[in-house]
Structure 1
Amino acid sequence: MESCFTSMMLSQPNFYFIIFMFGIILLSIKILKHNYSNKKSKKPRLPPGPKPWPIVGNLPQMLANKLTFRWIQNIMNDLNTEIACIRLGNIHVIPVTSPSIAREILMKQDAIFASRPLSWSSEHVSLGYLTIGPSPYGQQWKKMKRVITNELLGPLRLQWLYEKRAEEADNLVRYVYNQCKNGSALVNIRLAGQHYGGNLVRRLFFNKRYFGNGRQDGGPGAEELEHVEALLNVLKYLFAFSISDYVPFLREFDLDGRKEAMKDAITTIRKYHDPIIEERIHQWRNGTRTNQEDWLDVLISLKDAINDPYLTAEEIKAQIMEIMMATIDNPYNNVEWILSEMLNQSKIFQKAIEELDNVVGKERLVQESDIPKLNYVKACIKEGFRLHPIVDFNVPHVSMEDTIVFNYFIPKSSHVLIRRQGIGQNPRIWKEPLKFQPERHLKKNGSSLTLIEPNLETFTFSTGKRGCPGITLGSTMTIMLFARLVHAFTWITPSNEKIIDLSECVGDTSKAKPLVALGEPRLAAEVYLKMDQKKKNI
């Protein structure tokens, strides 16, 4: 017994040591848990949004709400937030309606958000990401951006193409005049605007207005109607929300019918474009064509360091299709909405007419050289872009690394969507945001107004690496379309309508009903006759 007691006493230090070490371990675990808890609480959280399901995220809700952009609008309104997070599959979709947050993303952190999402539609329309618009950030995108910015849209090149733009502005007036020269007549403003854009961009690329014989009154033939419809259909589906964009293994299946519709539209476009492009390439290579007359000649003529063609035929085809789509939609949509608003507010309409008459007079047509002096006209256009953008969401940006935006955590590969209409109608930024009020854009010092918005309080052309390189061309087209229609014609609401219906389409932000108004010439007859004398067979 003594021996046992002695043995126990000898082992007592080991016993106390074990107890001591156990206490140290428990204390360490407690400290680690406390530190981890503090770190976790300090880690920025995701922007607010609906609670996601495991694995699939909010895809069930997206599928239950067919109009996805309206669903996202409602989420942000319900949460009263200017930035949200909606998880679709394993992708975080971040919609934004705040100019300050948009500036943080597109200016301060531009390098992080300079990529694009990969999807079947963007890959197909860009012929394998060969173009500037939907291509992810990388060498191909940089190459095509240099081409577009330096070779097609520089100031000297735009000046070189001035006559083509002037002729299409004349043709717009001729087309409308031929409908109402014998007295007031109903004119479809949407159709006139769409085909002004279509005619102009065909002239810039192919030096021709018509694919077929066209019409003597200056309007579109069957080929041009089909061409413009196909361009607009591709745009409709290009960045539409599709479940296959968030669940990649479903890309082989056309679950929403968009894949087949887009294929058909692209096939139609290429039916008209490809023969012209291929023949022109052949002419340059065999030496039968040596002078540049349009953008297509410029693209074909570009050479690399060893004097080989800089662009492949597929790159040329893809980029032409993309620029045509990007050029055609904004001008007609903007002008249709503005004229609709102004027909319901005669005082605003009269102010625009008075400015045009004061600057231009009534003995000639408005020209591009008049644009710097047309501040009220530009204010009307800017207000149209604010209140009625062609689509609610800008082309998605993708974050290339984890980052923090306004104290929110934005994970790598998130899709960031700047909501044009959300910013333009943000009540924190704009007083009476749903009211069409051009005066809000006029500068107090009377300096020349532009359609560029450096503070992103209206969101038309974006900014940063992915900003639209065609700001000058797009602005000029829109101003000339609007100014020519307002200056050259008197517009009256049809007798069967008290006011113009300002309803949006159910599926997008365009006007639900095409604007059809009574038009009649308001300038001296000699002005239209002079224009007709300059007519060329194009």
Structure 2
Amino acid sequence: MENVTSALWNSSLHQLSNVSSPFVTAFLQFSATLVVLAFALFYLHKFLFVDKGRDMQPRLPPLLVKPWPIVGSLPEMVRNRPTFRWIHQLMKDANTEIGYIRFGNVHVITVTCPEIARQFLKEKDAVFASRPTIMAADLTTKGFLTTALVPMGDQWKKMRKVLVNEMLAPIRHRWLQEKRDEEADNLVRYVYNLCVSAGGLVNVRVASQQYCGNVPRNILFSRRYFGEGKEDGGPGFEEEEHVSAVFTILAYLYSFCVSDYMPRLRRLDLDGHEKVMKEALRIIGKYHDPIIDERIQQWKNGEKTEEKKADDLLDVLISLKDKKGGILLTPDEIKAQLTEFMIATVDNPSNAVEWALAEMLNQPEILEKAAEEIDRVVGRERLVEETDFPKLNYVKACAREAFRLHPIAPFNVPHVSLEDTTVAGYFIPKGSHVLLSRTALGRNPKVWEDPLKFKPERHLMDKEDGVSLTLTEADLRFISFSTGMRGCKGILLGSSMTFMVFARLLQCFSWSIPPANGPTIDLTEAKDSLFIANPLVAVAKPRLPPNMYPVHLA
């Protein structure tokens, strides 16, 4: 390097000496010497200190696939759909519990070990408390106006306060008890009517998703149906379209879209994801927006006032005031938050109940034991109520086991690192996306004995007598509801919905496998999701006195 630099300067000096004075020539020779010394000191410092110091820094987690320049491993991501199965196979092949893939310039960190997961979401929770600014979240939240899906910032703080203090506070939960009870009764009515009209054949996925769609519709909008519904209590076309759109949003929300990692390509919509998302959100808006707009107008016109009792959570949001007495939330904030509330409510309980019942049909002794517990605690002369839940530990153990073995999503909602940090001895760069694997945590053989077997008893082994079981898992041995600063704020509502739909189906009906299915239920997972591949259809028969079944509901 010194020889090259000297040659260049000598060449320049020779040319300048023809036109310059001896003084100028001497000055330039002195300057050249300084430049050569600067280069020499730079490389000496780099060799002695910088490189050696860099070697002492923690290294990145194991690289799961070698990246290309600029695009990283995006070509492999696109070729290997569904991406979540490809990533899990890479982790298995590498025999590691933490790894990373580079998509574009983004480091995507994947974790399958509960101990490492706790370091991310407990020890360094504040560092990983943000969300990625991806296309689907942008569309769903109308430009990041909500709570669960938005990056850290003032808007998140504002909406989190609204969600926790106004929408999901215990006092609101008690206030909305009657609406939840209405939908629990309607679920029983619907399945009972199928026993009469359809020979007892029940599509459990439809029934459970119907209930999980009805509850938020009722507590948000004070209505079960957007259309006329069905006389048997089941969903009409409008409700089926609405719930289908919700699950489409959930499927595409964090689906490894190319533009999530190279935002400048978003306008090209290379995956076609944005088109699908916009159509699903159009359907949601078709049903939500007219109700919201009309209700806002009612408050403006004085048809609804603070002196009159609010009917539902929509009234609560519209009536909120800021410190100066002005309107706290804009119409877009209300619409976006209610959409996010809906998609956060429908999926987990319905998926857990379908999987749990499918597993229990293949192990009838578990089904019988759960029903016997309900008979012992509640009896057959009244229906299960939410106040019974603390005493139904075996039923809750079945629900926990479904969450462990059959999570609704392969990964948790991504966390984003707000700064460079170290976790489990590995360097995690600022801006990294951290994905905790729900499937691998819940099925980790180092944590769970016989991890692929449905065994509710495992959740009762260390439980003291008289202590009520919950769906939450503080040690992240599986993920039912996310934890930490960005954890799920709707645990009370989500748990109540899960227990209620499950307990009512077990109490009110005996279940069996349709003869045409053979001796067992096929428990194969769908290829592109974690749903059971074929929706569960089972035979239901009433097991309570006839007068216990709701027949006429408003």
TM > 0.5 fold call: yes
Match of 1:69 among 84, 97, 105: 84
The one-character-per-residue Cα deviations of 1:482-503 (angstroms, maximum 9, x if unpaired) are 1100110010001012210101
In structure 1, the residue matched to 2:280 is 265
Match of 2:263 among 235, 248, 261: 248
- Structure 1 position 184, deviation (Å): 4.5
- Structure 1 position 35, deviation (Å): 4.2
Match of 1:88 among 103, 113, 119: 103
Which secondary structure state, in structure 2, belongs to the residue aligned with residue 458 of structure 1? coil
Alignment of structure 1 residues 103-502 onto 2, 5 Å: 103-181=118-196, 184-290=199-305, 291-442=309-460, 443-446=462-465, 447-497=467-517, 498-502=519-523
Measure, in 2, the Cα distance between the counterparts of 1:63 and 1:272: 34
Measure, in 2, the Cα distance between the counterparts of 1:445 and 1:184: 43
| Partner amino acid, structure 2, of 1:104 | Q
Which secondary structure state, in structure 2, belongs to the residue aligned with residue 309 of structure 1? coil
In structure 2, the residue matched to 1:33 is 47
| Paired residues of 1:183 and 1:520 also in contact (CA < 8 A) | no
Measure, in 2, the Cα distance between the counterparts of 1:73 and 1:85: 11
Q: Which moved more, 1:26-35 or 1:161-170?
A: 26-35
| Partner amino acid, structure 2, of 1:80 | N
- Structure 1 position 505, deviation (Å): 0.7
In structure 1, the residue matched to 2:32 is none
Which secondary structure state, in structure 1, belongs to the residue aligned with residue 267 of structure 2? coil
Q: Which moved more, 1:476-485 or 1:440-449?
A: 440-449
Measure, in 2, the Cα distance between the counterparts of 1:182 and 1:225: 20
| Partner amino acid, structure 2, of 1:42 | M
Which secondary structure state, in structure 2, belongs to the residue aligned with residue 111 of structure 1? helix
- Structure 1 position 213, deviation (Å): 1.3
The one-character-per-residue Cα deviations of 1:169-197 (angstroms, maximum 9, x if unpaired) are 00000000001037852100000001101
Which secondary structure state, in structure 2, belongs to the residue aligned with residue 496 of structure 1? helix
Measure, in 2, the Cα distance between the counterparts of 1:289 and 1:231: 30
- Structure 1 position 26, deviation (Å): 9.4
Which secondary structure state, in structure 1, belongs to the residue aligned with residue 174 of structure 2? helix
| Paired residues of 2:142 and 2:332 also in contact (CA < 8 A) | yes
| Paired residues of 1:181 and 1:521 also in contact (CA < 8 A) | no
Q: Which runs of 5+ in 1 are unaligned?
A: 1-21
- Structure 1 position 36, deviation (Å): 4.1
Measure, in 1, the Cα distance between the counterparts of 2:553 and 2:513: 33
| Partner amino acid, structure 2, of 1:326 | A
| Partner amino acid, structure 1, of 2:482 | S
- Structure 1 position 39, deviation (Å): 2.1
Q: How many residues align?
A: 511
Which secondary structure state, in structure 1, belongs to the residue aligned with residue 125 of structure 2? coil
| Partner amino acid, structure 2, of 1:506 | K
The one-character-per-residue Cα deviations of 1:286-327 (angstroms, maximum 9, x if unpaired) are 111132010000000100111111100110000001100110
Q: 1:506 and 2:521 equivalent?
A: no
In structure 2, the residue matched to 1:4 is none
Which secondary structure state, in structure 2, belongs to the residue aligned with residue 85 of structure 1? strand
The one-character-per-residue Cα deviations of 1:394-451 (angstroms, maximum 9, x if unpaired) are 1111001000001000000000011111100111111111111011111441211011
Measure, in 1, the Cα distance between the counterparts of 2:40 and 2:262: 45
Measure, in 1, the Cα distance between the counterparts of 2:246 and 2:497: 18
Measure, in 2, the Cα distance between the counterparts of 1:60 and 1:228: 33
Measure, in 1, the Cα distance between the counterparts of 2:547 and 2:67: 67
Measure, in 2, the Cα distance between the counterparts of 1:27 and 1:509: 58
| Paired residues of 1:423 and 1:457 also in contact (CA < 8 A) | yes
Measure, in 2, the Cα distance between the counterparts of 1:449 and 1:91: 39
Q: 1:58 and 2:73 equivalent?
A: yes
Measure, in 2, the Cα distance between the counterparts of 1:444 and 1:278: 49
Measure, in 2, the Cα distance between the counterparts of 1:391 and 1:253: 27
**Percent of aligned pairs with the same amino acid:** 56
| Paired residues of 1:99 and 1:455 also in contact (CA < 8 A) | yes
Measure, in 1, the Cα distance between the counterparts of 2:210 and 2:43: 72
The one-character-per-residue Cα deviations of 1:359-399 (angstroms, maximum 9, x if unpaired) are 01111111111000000001000000000000111111100
| Partner amino acid, structure 2, of 1:480 | M
Q: For the aligned residues, what is the CA RMSD?
A: 1.8
Measure, in 1, the Cα distance between the counterparts of 2:46 and 2:348: 57
Cα pair distance change 1:39/1:340, threshold 3 Å: same
The one-character-per-residue Cα deviations of 1:257-304 (angstroms, maximum 9, x if unpaired) are 111111111111101111110110111111111320100000001001
Measure, in 2, the Cα distance between the counterparts of 1:332 and 1:401: 37
Q: Which runs of 5+ in 2 are unaligned?
A: 1-35
| Paired residues of 2:186 and 2:553 also in contact (CA < 8 A) | no
The one-character-per-residue Cα deviations of 1:118-163 (angstroms, maximum 9, x if unpaired) are 1121111100100002111000001000000000111111000000
Measure, in 2, the Cα distance between the counterparts of 1:26 and 1:133: 53
